[in-house]
Amino acid sequence: MPVKGFQFSAVEAAIKKPGRLDLALIFSQTPARVAAVFTTNKVKAAPVLISQQRAKDGICRAVLVNSGNANACTGEQGMRDALTCGRKTAEALGLPDEELLIASTGVIGQTLPMDRFRAGIEPLVDGLSGGTIENVADAIMTTDSFAKLETRSGAAGGVPYTITGIAKGAGMIQPNMATMLAFLVTDADVEPAFLDRAFKEAVDGSFNAITVDGDTSTNDTALIMANGAAANPLITAGTPEGERFVALLHDVLLSLAKLIVKDGEGATKFVEIRVQGAADHADAKQAALAVANSLLVKTAFFGQDANWGRIIAAVGYSGCEMDQGKVRISFDDVLMVQDGIFTGGDAEAAGTEVLKQKEFTVTIDLRIGSGAATVYTSDLTYDYVRINADYRT
């Protein structure tokens, strides 16, 4: 079911390679509540700094996004250019500047081609009547091999509503809110404080639980716009409708996050790293990320080498509390390590078969507490090096 009250547009402004959409617009026909999270990198792109400030007001009518140029590390010129792009677009839409958020993704350190931006704004706004969210999903891609879009439907007080989200990302992925952008729109009417809290919690369990290469971008942005066009009774915390909204929101975000990992630059494996029995959740996540980001572990996944030693070593240096004599490690349902000791040659052969699959789970049971966390990662391949070795050429 389409999301009510939103319009979309995308054009080719020649910001990146010819023949590809690269400038996009999301527009709410009525004022929308907004919740957003941004990169924790201390180096932040100009559009992030602008949108961070504007999102604090909690109202957003439009999002302008480009790919092919991050407008990061471009100094005062970059800030002026971002503000100019936003102002020109807001004027064309008849909006105050503050109701438009800006996002960019692409190469760091290059100033925006402003003549191309200016030329693209009029056709971008004119195209709102005929554009689709799929067009926007295509326009925000950089090294992505496919567009990422997820939709879920729910109801509040018997009134149906829809949540739709798009994302981009394949490399420079460990968001910490990677280069990652995500935009969600919903026609549900949601209480502002509840929307903000629910979105941030859902991001923590989705985009903050993935890694492709351990890099946190200068441009990471994830936001949701809720315009209430469904005309449902207000969704609030502590209600069945609120719980349902949270579940749907988390499902959309987690599905998008998994698609980012599956599209990891050059990736051939999608791996779920589960840590359980940790002292607490923080320890579990710390250990899971250490394993998920280990280059030796990721290359072993690529080589289909059941090298559990690299995994237990990564847990050991992660800084989490552990007793190596209690650790269990399994590949899917194959127990590789019991009480910190290899279970034998049969497990080696069975574990290798598991690693031949495109998707599998590594479970690490520390057996010292009740803390648990899951992180999603990919393998590290020759193609990842190739893609990133000539990214700017």
Binding residues for substrate, as ranges, are 142, 168, 179, 265, 388, 393
8 A C-beta contact, residue 93 and residue 82: no
Q: Strand 328-331's sheet: what is its strand order? A: 341-342, 334-338, 328-331, 359-365, 270-278, 371-378
Pair of tokens at residue 342? 């290899």
User: Phi and psi of 349, rounded to 5°?
Assistant: -65, -45
Task: Please give the torsion angle defined by the CA atoms of residues 305, 308, 311 and 312, in that order, rounded to the nearest 10 degrees.
Answer: -160
Instruction: Tell me how far apart the alpha carbons of residues 63 and 145 are, in angstroms, rounded to a whole number.
Output: 23
Instruction: Tell me how far apart the alpha carbons of residues 98 and 82 are, in angstroms, rounded to a whole number.
Output: 13
Instruction: Tell me how far apart the alpha carbons of residues 297 and 34 are, in angstroms, rounded to a whole number.
Output: 39
Instruction: Tell me how far apart the alpha carbons of residues 163 and 55 are, in angstroms, rounded to a whole number.
Output: 20
| DSSP of 67-116 | EEE---S-HHHHHHHHHHHHHHHHHHHT--GGGEEEEEEEETT----HHH
Hey, what amino acid is at 252?
Answer: V
Instruction: Tell me how far apart the alpha carbons of residues 286 and 283 are, in angstroms, rounded to a whole number.
Output: 5
- Is 84 annotated in the active site? no
Hey, what amino acid is at 213?
Answer: D
Which residues belong to the annotated binding site? 142, 168, 179, 265, 388, 393
Q: What is the sign of the dihedral through the CA atoms of 171, 262, 27 and 156?
A: negative
Q: Which residue in 39, 143, 164, 179 is the catalytic one?
A: 179
Q: Which residue blocks in the chain are alpha helix, DSSP H?
A: 46-55, 75-93, 114-126, 133-139, 192-204, 240-262, 281-293, 295-303, 308-317, 345-355, 382-389
Q: Is 252 exposed, middle or buried (0-12, 13-18, 19+ CB in 10 A)?
A: buried
Give catalytic residues, as residue numbers: 179
